[in-house]
Structures are given as C-alpha cells and as structure tokens.
Chain A
Amino acid sequence: MDPEQVDEFVMGYLKKKGFNSAAKHLQESLHNNNGSTFSSIDYHNDPELNKLIRSFSQSENDPSRYREGYSKLRSWGYNSLDLYKHELVRVMYPVFIHCYMDLVGKGHTQEARSFFNSFRKDHEMVHLRDLQKLGGVLAPSHLQEMEFARSLRQSKINIKICQYSYDLLLQYLHRTESTLMLGIINEHINFQVYSGQPNSASDDIEAVTIVGSFHETADHVNQKEIHWGLLEDSLEDRLEKTGGLLSDSEKGQGESKAGDMDDSKKRSAEIGKQGSSIKKLKKDKAGTATTKVARQETSTVLSSMPRVKPELAMPVMSADVEESILEDLRNRVQLSSIAMPSVSFYTFVNTHNGLNSSSISHDGSLVAGGFSDSSIKVWDMAKIGQAGSCALQDENNQTVGLNGRRNYTLLVGHSGPVYSATFSPPGDYVLSSSADTTIRLWSTKLNANLVCYKGHNHAVWDAQFSPFGHYFASCSHDRTARIWSMDRMQPLRMMAGHLSDVDCVQWHPNCNYIATGSSDKTVRLWDVQTGECVRIFIGHRSMVLSLAMSPDGRYMASGDEDGTIMMWDLSTARCITPLMGHNSCVWTLSYSGEGSLLASGSADCTVKLWDVSSSTKLTKAEEKNGNSNRLRSLRTFPTKSTPVHALRFSRRNLLFAAGAISKPSS
C-alpha cells in the first residue's frame, strides 16, 4: 500500500472521529518529516496494521458489515466443538442485541429490522421476553428512552467462560479480522475466565439472564448479613411452652397457662408503652432463659432456628385472639409427604370476568374479592354454611339486595380496579389496593372504610399485612415498595431500586424484612428498619407474580409468569432448585404451617403440592454432594375450569383455595 494513501486514511479516520487535535498533530508531523525516513514506525510495512486501518476507513458506515460479521461468528460458534459450544453460543446473544442496537443507534432502521428478524429465532427460546421488548426499538431516541436498552448499553455483561473457549474465541476473531465483532465483544462483555473444564450447559441459570449492571451490585448486595431466624417470643414459642408443660404434667396445665397468659399480658402492656420495651423484653428474657433451655429440648425443628429481635415495635395482641391462635396451633395437623392436607375450594361464580384478586382470611372463614368495577366483596363462609337461617338478621341495608338477599358485604370506595384485598391476621380488617393509587383499610366488623392511604404515584399492585398485623407493605407501578403502619397517613419507609413495576410483596415471618417481586424479573429482600436492599435474587425469566416465605424464615419461594417456581435460600441468595410443572402463571404460593409442603396455584387450573421438607432437612448433605437433591411435586389437583387465584394454609393446616370459574375457551 502506498504510504501516502495510508496517511490519507489515517487523517480521514481521525477527522471523522472528531480527533481534530490528533489530526492536526499528524499533519504537522507529516509536514515536518515529509520525505524523510520517519517511517521507522514501520507501519507502512505491517500488513496487519494496513488491513486494520483499511477496514476502519473503508466501510465505517456500512450496515451490512454487522450482518456479515455476526452471521460468520454465529456459524463458527454453532460449528465449534460440542464441549465448548454452549459457552460460545452464550456469547452470541449479547453480540446479537448490541449489533442490533448499534444499527438502530446509527439510524439504519431498515437493516436493523431485517437483521433482527433473521437471527432472533436463535435466542427466542431463552430470551423471548427481552426480544419482544427490543423488537419495538426502532429509532435512536428509543434507545435513550427505554430503560432496558439503556441499561444494556451502559453496562457490561458478565459471562463465565472457560480458558479454552476464551482462547478459541479470540483466535477466531483475530484470524478472521472481524474487528467489528471484536469491538462489540470488548465493549459489552466482561469475560470471567476460569481454568478447567467448561460447565455443563444447564446448571448455571444466571448465565442466561442479562439484567444490565445488576450482577456486580447484586453480588455486592448479597454480601450483607441478614438474620433470617424467627422472632423471639413468637406464638410458636409460647405454644411449645404450654405444650412442653402439657407433656410434663397434665395437672399443671391450667396453672401454667394462666401464668403464661399473665406473663404475656404484662409483656404486651409493656410493649404498648413502647418506650423501652425492647430492653425490658431483654430483661424478661434473661429471667426466663433457664426455663427456656429446658423447653427447647422438647421442641421441634422450628425451635432450633435462631431467634432474632423485632426491629419494629410489635402491636399488642388481645388475649382472646392470642388464645384462639394458640388453640389453633395446638390442633394443627402435621403434614408431610405422606400426610396430605385437605383442600377446600371456594369457586367464584358469575364474576363476569371482573374478579381481579381474591384472598382468604387466616382461618378460612372470610373470603374477599377485589373487582375491576372498584368494588370489594367479602363473604363470610361460616354464615353461608348456616344457610338462610339468619335471613333477616342484618339490619344493614348494604347486605340486602334487590332480589332477596345478598350474602356478601359490598365495600365501595375505590375509584379504579381493585388489584388486591387481603385480611389482617385476626381477620378484623381488610386492606385493599387499587389502580386509583390508594390503599384503603376496611373494617369487617363495621363493614365500612376506615382509612385511605395516599402516597403511591401509580397503581398499587399489591398490599400485605405483616404477620402480626398493624404494619403493612405495598408495592406499585411507580417501582417502589412502601411500609406503612395503620395509624399513619404517610408511609414509614420507601424501598426504591427495582427497575420495573413491583408486582408482589411478602413479609418475612420475623417482620424485619420484606420481599418484593418485580417485572424486572428479580426478587429483592429489603430491611424494614433501614429500607435498604439486602438481597437480590436473579434467575426468573419473566415477571414475578407470587412470593411465599417458609415459616422458619430461611427459604423463599417465588412464582413467575411462565409457571416456574424458584426456591431461594435467603442467606446465600441462591436458587436451591427451580420447580417446574405449571405451564401458566403461578398466581399464588403458600407454605404449610410447619413448612414441609408448598402449595402453588396457577392459571393452568391446578393446585400443586410440593415436598419441600426433604430439601430443608438435607441441605447439609446436599451441599456436599452437589445439587442432587431435588424438590419434588407430590400431587396435582386439577380443578374443572378454575384458575387458582389464592391459596392459604390455615393455622390448623387446612388448605383453602379460591378462584373464579372461567368458561373454557372454545
């Protein structure tokens, strides 16, 4: 190549790229050394460099290069050694989407579209939803506007790859001089090269999700310490106390219970004062510590869990409520893979497609439905069971309809579709959230609206009471989750961080954490006291719709739009195992009282029971021999044609399910 020509190319390149000062310098030095032997750099004679320069200058703006480069890389990748293929193929996806976005960014809309359509088939299986989003990006401005695209552009994707695959890839890129692909790979992919054999194709789920810059932050966040133990002095504890004494001496039962009750009353009174309650509690604890040791010997699995102190001031529980809960716990049926629960199903009929959500109270006696016509309807199943005997007892006009009697309570107040309606643990309040951005608190005793909580900026998707009532959490389209207490109009905490809608929220049994599931396909765990994100769970491939926390506070289950349920270990933020089986949205999840079974309800009209006890018991062994121990599906209960909207294990371990019957589409 003519040296003059090279100089020209270099000049052209620099000018085009806007490196004006560099161009000036080059020009100057060219002038200075005109005709001299400055070519000592020898770039004129280096063929590699020549080609490189030529490729830069020649077709800088040619959109077909992307297609060419990518299709070459692709065919090379798919024809490579089987052992390393999956690792190499994994590289294709980021290259693909960045090629596409480069094309869009440069304004080659037409080429971008045809490029996208010709290669999207390769990635649809794993990344369908991302592709659907990206498919709409057609103008450079969209790239800026769309959060997903922006985060992709700004961040690097981590890909784990073994040494040999990495070498292969580099070799290929250098040999074929596909600088364009090399540039994209360098710019957007961060290789984590490890020595040894490549991983098997299936075991790392994280490899297939690309969530922008998440991974580093997630890794960082997940280092934080969390205390997943149960709350000290929980009702279970108290039950063990009485239970232990029961087994000791039948006679002493009455006394001890009375004593216990006094004790708790005193304690709750102290909490009521709030001031130094926690310290006093501590003292109290110290006093009873010796007896507690004795109790724990007789206790079950739950009690062996570590105990943590509540960070929130816990609400006072009235004595009779507490007594009834204790009674329920005492009568709880032990469930296992052999002893299955009974399932009672509440079917909504004549909903006219308007039922948005339903929920069941903790004892199964009340059922609430949130409707798209802004109303909430509450059924008292105990009354319905008694049939029409109490026909005219209600003086309340609301409960009497035109054609005789309505057997539900109609709660009207919202001005938009009601997306959730949940009961407080004793069943005396209903909390509803709506598209009108408000959350409303209703009393089931008065059948009236008590409070309207305003704070969210967009539709509120979900609201959940804490396990002890009083506090509740909400989540919204405005990408935040908020913590409220019943007596304040303003939220107490605001959890921001999700990259898309927060779709569901769930409290940890010890009340110190909440978990949120989002449309950004992650689940996050937040500290209620500080409002910080303490865990990020990455692995879902679509929007997370339901969450459940195991009663021992150690595990969490989350269900998504595709029908996958994932079991997470809270402390490590790792997925223990995905539970496959549903083939449509998992609307609801519920753990049995002692945590041995997980029930899931789905839009595919089934309730499934999963054995989760084996995994929790054998985790240590599992850690040793890898991921061999899988959770299994125990039973599938198909309904006739009713998608399952809500599930609830009562305190006595009876499973309640609810759903609206849908006409099978012909």
Chain B
Amino acid sequence: MSIVPKETIEVIAQSIGITNLSPEAALMLAPDVEYRVREIMQEAIKCMRHSKRTTLTASDVDGALNLRNLEPIYGFGSGGPIRFRKAIGHRDLFYTDDREVDFKDVIEAPLPKAPLDTEIVCHWLAIEGVQPAIPENAPLEVIRAPAENQIYQQKDGPLIDIRLPVKHVLSKELQLYFQKIAELTLSKSNPSLFKEALVSLASDSGLHPLVPYFTNFIADEVSRGLNDFLLLFNLMHVVRSLLQNPHIHIEPYLHQLMPSVVTCLVSRKLGNRFADNHWDLRDFTANLVALICKRFGNTYITLQSRLTKTLVNALLDPKKALTQHYGAIQGLAALGHNVVRLLVLSNLEPYLSLLEPELDAEKQKNQMKSYEAWRVYGAILRAAGLCIHDRLKIFPTLPSPSPSFPSKGKGKVISTEPNKRKLGVDSSENRSPHKRLIATDGSDGGPSPMQVDRPTGDANPPQNSVRPSSSEQASDGNAPESRNAKEKDDSKGRAITRKAILDQIWKDDLDSGRLLVKLHQLYGDRILPFIPSTEMSLFL
C-alpha cells in the first residue's frame, strides 16, 4: 500500500522508545507518515524555488520544517546537495556517505583556508544583440550555419535559436560518399575518376556534414604521408575543392586545415623519390594559402598575420632547408605584393648573402643542393620582380612625369585617372623589354635577334600574372632554368633601364625611389657577375 512499510514505523517507534506499538497502529500510521513526508517535500520544493535553485538541499527541508513550525533536522547543514550512495544489492535503497573520521586526523589537519568572499564579476553577455567571443561567454555553437535558413523559416514557432551540440547521424549515402572519396584520394591509380570526384566535391551541396570528417582525414593523411608526394598533391586538391564548394561553410574548420596546408608548403621533405616534383606541390599550396587568406582574411583578422609570421620564420631561419625557404617565399609571394614588399624585400639583403655560397657552383659541389639554391633564387627574384613591377605600375608613364603629381603621391592620389595610366604602363612595358634587352645585350655582345624574340614572347606573362606557371615547369626540365635566367635578365635589365630614368622618379616619389635603388643595388650589382654561371646551370 503505502511506500512506507509498517516495519519502518515499527523501527522508528522503537528508536524513540515505544516498544509496545501494535501492528495495526503501525499499519494505520504508515500512510499518514508518507503523506506528511510528501507535504514537507512539497514545502521544501517551494523553498528551493525561492532560493533560485534547481537542486534540493538539506537547508530547503529545514526551511520547510520551519514553515510548519517543526524543529529542523540537525547535522546536515553542509550547504551543498547531499551525496547519496546506492546500497549494493538493493534497487531503491540509498544512504548518505558518512565516513568515519579519525579524531587524530581532524586535530592534526592544518586549519582550513578561509572561504573566498562573494564578489561580482561584470562582462558583456551581448553587444547590440551579438555575443562577443570572450572567455566569460559560453563558446558559440559551431555547427549552425547550414541551419540558418531553416531557422528563419521556423521563426514563427517556438524554437531554440542556438543548437546544443548534437550527435550527427551520417546517412548511409554520405558515409559511402566519404569512403569513396577517401579511397580515390589514397589510391592515386585513377586520375580521371579522381578529377571527377574533385569536381563533385567542389560543387555538390549537402556535403557539409562531412566537412569535419574530411578535415580530420586530411590532417591525418598529411601527417602520415609526408613521403608520399602524390597523396599530398591529391589531398591539397581535395582542400581546394572543399574551399571552392559554395555550399560548405568551412570557416570553423580552418584552424584544423591550416596546419596541414602549411605543412605541404614549407615542409622540409615532400615525397621520397627524386622524380617527385615537390616544387609543383609547393606552388600549388602557395596558391591555396593565398586563396584561403583572401576568402577568410576579413573574418579571421589574425589569420594572415599568423600565417606570414610562420612563413617569415621559416624563411629567416638559416638552419631550415632550402626547400622550406622556397615554400615560404612562394607562400609569401602568393599573398600579394604588399606582403612581399614588407616582409621579403626588407629581408632580402641578408638572405641573399646567405644564399650566395649555395649558388656558387664552384663551392657547392652537390648538384642537388645547387639546383635547389637556384630554385630558391629564382623564386625570390620573381617575387621581388613582380613586386617592383606592381609598384611601378602605380607610376604614370615613366618618360613623362606629369605635373599632376607634385607631392609625394602614393596610390591614393593616382587613382584619379586609372585608365589612362594603365594604357601608359602597358605601352611602357611593351616598349621597355626591347630597350632593356638591347642594353644588356649590348654589354654582353650576344646574338641580338634571337634574344629579342624571346623576351617579347615570354617576358610579359610572368609579369602580368602571379601564376607560378607550374605546367610550364613540369613540361620540360630545362624550362625552369631558362626561365630563371630570363627573369634575371629581365629584372636586371629593368633595373638598369630604371637607373636611367631613376632621377625623374626620385623627384616624384622618394619612397619608391629608395626601394628601387635598393633593389638595384641588390640585384643589379650582384646579378651581373653571376650571369655566366646561370648559363652554366642551364646545361646541368
């Protein structure tokens, strides 16, 4: 009948000294005891609510007893909720954990510290309806974006705006899709199918639930497969496809992706075979990094600064391998001219001096090393060249310093007549190679007609686009060397031409002028003696 059995009543009766309680009386009392206990608990719950708590404590029961004018139960005033333990072997039997304490321990124990005093801490829970991401606030829910439109649709009904972390159940189809993609990425045997897969990754909607799995997969495989060049290349392709997919909200996972991507850019060794064209991979990854920065740089303000810091560190550490330097330079170059100007050009002089011994074929007997050094040299040269090219684009047509720029005009002032200027630059660029080459060739005394042909055809593309022209490099082993040489010619020639008209620029713009002079000093003077060796490396 009642949940209080009559035996309990009998025990209680005995404990307070009533020995001759009749069983009938106990039977009658039992339901009443239960009722009274329930009554007390009802009042205790009220006390709990008014103490703005959701756990019932001993003090609430005391409060309830107090409300009924009863004596409180002594011995439970701990403040916190009482911890109950389950009696072993019984389903519904609990007892309070009341350990025996040795008196000696209590006496010998050091005095407890005074409890900390109550204080108030103030913070912004929200600013104009947006929760700032400060440590005082609960972390914002990550997986929220895809559900956004649904939220707006349902807005009418009562709903919870922020989803608590839920276990996502991946559908069978998605699991299968993920497996297939992973297989393709790992197998490398079927390039055409892999291409299809990339296209699907870049365009399919509904892949969002898989993003965490993909990021995990990429991170795992990159760390595991640093020796496997093809795998790395495949993985980077997957990253790019994921970035391209407009339906995927990849931003929250960037922090997981970035390390893998940067690894593929500046790792010491990518791939274990000689034939592995890891330069290609680095170029590709550099572009990827630039893409990420461009897309998420606005939302993650620290993204680019952190990235450049990593890269510059890699670049300036002389202990790092040349391959790492190459990756760092490519990464920085891909981030744009401003980055190059600020970070590479400022460090150019010491770096080149560092590179110099490696370049010297006489001193550096290891062919591989020398090759690597030249690659690095080419990369840094191109970065600088592109930077200066971009820089010079800002200027009006060089031969005619217009009166409209009397002050130390920078980009701002010049934006008044962009079209005209473009034209001017184009024409000057078109003209300058010829001039330049004639100048250099004159000094070298080489066969001029052939060389004139070359630059007019080739000198422009690397100037106009930042494309690392990986295809060009891959197609033919000699091409990179020739291109390096070309570029060197290029910038050297440009520098020389510039020198002729430098005075004019000086008058116009001191800052850029200084930069030019510096570049000229670095390249113009140092390149010239090396020209023969460049040609030598061409035959390697």
Q: Which A residues lie at the B interface, using CB under 8 A?
A: 109-110, 113, 133, 135-139, 141-142, 339-357, 367, 369, 371-372, 377, 379, 381, 384-385, 401-403, 406-408, 416-417, 419, 435, 458-459, 461, 477, 501, 503, 519, 543, 545, 561, 578-581, 584-585, 587, 603, 605, 607, 609, 630, 632-641, 643, 645, 657-658, 660, 665
Which of A419, A503, A578, A643 is within 8 Å of B54, CB to CB? A643
Contact B156 A349 (CB under 8 A): no
In whole angstroms, how far apart are the Cα atoms of A550 and B443 in the complex? 90
Closest to A433 in B: B50
Which of A501, A578, A633, A643 is within 8 Å of B52, CB to CB? A643
In whole angstroms, how far apart are the Cα atoms of A369 and B120 in the complex? 10
Which of A344, A503, A579, A657 is within 8 Å of B158, CB to CB? A579
> If A435-B63, A458-B67 touch, does A417 touch B125 (CB 8 Å cutoff)?
no
CB contacts under 8 Å to A, within B43-64, are 46-47, 49-55, 57, 59, 63
> If A353-B53, A543-B49 touch, does A640 touch B138 (CB 8 Å cutoff)?
yes
Residues of A within 8 A of B37 (CB): 136
Contact A350 B119 (CB under 8 A): yes
Q: Does B313 contact A (CB under 8 A)?
A: no
Q: Which of B126-134, B431-439, B522-530 contacts A (4 or more CB under 8 A)?
A: B126-134
Closest to A581 in B: B158
Which of A141, A416, A630 is within 8 Å of B157, CB to CB? A630
Smallest beta-carbon distance A415→chain B, Å = 11
Q: Which B residues lie at the A interface, using CB under 8 A?
A: 1-2, 31-32, 34-35, 37-39, 42, 46-47, 49-55, 57, 59, 63, 66-67, 79-80, 114-131, 136-138, 155-162
Smallest beta-carbon distance B70→chain A, Å = 14
Smallest beta-carbon distance A596→chain B, Å = 13
Contact B32 A138 (CB under 8 A): yes
The 7 tightest CB contacts between A and B, nearest first, are A340-B129, A138-B31, A136-B38, A580-B158, A343-B125, A345-B125, A350-B116
Contact B136 A347 (CB under 8 A): yes
Smallest beta-carbon distance A380→chain B, Å = 10
> If A138-B31, A630-B157 touch, does A585 touch B121 (CB 8 Å cutoff)?
no
Residues of A within 8 A of B2 (CB): 109, 113, 138
Contact B1 A381 (CB under 8 A): no
Contact A353 B80 (CB under 8 A): yes
> If A138-B1, A344-B125, A356-B51 touch, does A519 touch B46 (CB 8 Å cutoff)?
yes
Contact B129 A635 (CB under 8 A): yes
| 16 A-B residue pairings within 8 Å (CB atoms) | A136-B39, A339-B128, A344-B122, A345-B136, A347-B123, A352-B79, A354-B79, A419-B51, A435-B63, A459-B50, A503-B46, A503-B49, A581-B160, A637-B125, A637-B126, A660-B52
Closest to A660 in B: B52
Contact B124 A369 (CB under 8 A): no
Contact B35 A142 (CB under 8 A): yes
In whole angstroms, how far apart are the Cα atoms of A589 and B125 in the complex? 17
Contact B49 A353 (CB under 8 A): no
Residues of B within 8 A of A346 (CB): 120-122
Residues of A within 8 A of B129 (CB): 339-342, 609, 634-635
In whole angstroms, how far apart are the Cα atoms of A603 and B129 in the complex? 21
Contact A135 B38 (CB under 8 A): yes
Closest to B156 in A: A630
> If A138-B1, A477-B67, A581-B159 touch, does A350 touch B117 (CB 8 Å cutoff)?
yes
In whole angstroms, how far apart are the Cα atoms of A637 and B134 in the complex? 13
Residues of B within 8 A of A354 (CB): 79, 118
In whole angstroms, how far apart are the Cα atoms of A408 and B119 in the complex? 8
Contact A109 B49 (CB under 8 A): no
Which of B50, B115, B117 is within 8 Å of A461, CB to CB? B50
Smallest beta-carbon distance B71→chain A, Å = 15
Closest to B164 in A: A638
Contact B50 A636 (CB under 8 A): no
* Additional 4 contacts, C-beta under 8 A, given A133-B42, A636-B160: A133-B38, A344-B122, A634-B161, A641-B138
Contact A344 B124 (CB under 8 A): yes
Contact A345 B158 (CB under 8 A): no
Contact B52 A384 (CB under 8 A): no
Residues of A within 8 A of B32 (CB): 138-139, 141-142
Residues of B within 8 A of A637 (CB): 125-126, 131
Which of A137, A343, A585 is within 8 Å of B35, CB to CB? A137
